[in-house]
Amino acid sequence: MKFDFRKIKVKDIEGKESSLDISKELGNSIYRNTADLGELELARNIYKDGEVEINAEQAAILNKYVREGFLAFVQEALCPVLDEIINLKK
């Protein structure tokens, strides 16, 4: 599934929706914390392109980094989408 990390739909405290670009922050987070070459390449693609094709295995990896490194309002917007991609495999 193709996903654009430059256009994450988040809600503020009043429920108003806006778009958030987390491509650079997410790419850097993975890049600085991974020992896996596949994750390193994924980090580079997210950082450079923003929109990337992700499979269930990559969605699980991204889910881990988002849950560990991002604030709750970003997790609330992104984790259900990543969970959906993970569950498509099952």
- Render pLDDT for 11-23 as a digit per residue (tens, 0 to 9): 999 999 999 999 9
Read off the pTM.
Answer: 0.90
Specify the pLDDT at position 88: 85
Q: Which residues pair with 20 in a beta bridge?
A: 8
pLDDT at 16: 96
Is residue 89 scored above 90 in pLDDT? no
